[in-house]
Amino acid sequence: MTDTVTAAPRASYGFAASAYVHFDDLDQFGMLHNTRHAVLVERAIVAWWGERGVSFADGRPSSPDAFSAVRDFAITYHAPIRGTGEIAVHFWIERLGRTSLEYRFRLTSLDRATLYAEGRRLAVRLDPATLAPTAWTDRGREIAAALTAPGRRAEDSA
């Protein structure tokens, strides 16, 4: 099964994907369970890269840049997501280092009037043989540039 990214109302930078909150995502209070926020962010990011040819098929990466791991994930909750339905997952790249990639994200209502949560996700590209950090490819950096926030640039640091 492949996920596709459906665009939510246009973001001025990065990408805003539409995500659906299902009944089994809810906790006993009828709100999106706190662990499911990260899943919605992860799915949106993975689908966006997949549509650009960076994914896994049959357990193998389609590109060297698909082999990465999340090093850090932080989230702040602002308002509960109550019940099922569509929300927006807006994400962008805040910093692109030599081996790391820092995303920022917001989960909002589709009209962007309500901010449910926001946070950061730090990924590190790994060498498949050694699992040591390794540099993003030129193609990966080129793809990532489309998500870079205004006023931000690629850095040579890790």
Q: What angle do CA 82, 85, 90 make, to 5 degrees?
A: 90
Whole-model pTM? Answer: 0.89
The letter for the amino acid at 151 is G
Q: Tell which phi-psi region holds residue 53, choosing left (phi > 0), alpha (psi between -120 and 50) or beta.
A: left
Q: Does residue 8 register a pLDDT over 70?
A: no
Instruction: For each of the domains in the chain, give its residue range(s) and CATH number, in order of start.
Output: 6-145 (3.10.129.10)
Q: Does residue 158 register a pLDDT over 70?
A: no
Q: Which of 152, 54, 141, 50 is nearest to 99 (CA)?
A: 141
pLDDT per residue over 14-48, tens digit each?
999 999 999 999 999 999 999 999 999 999 999 99
Q: Are 97 and 155 in contact (CB under 8 A)?
A: yes
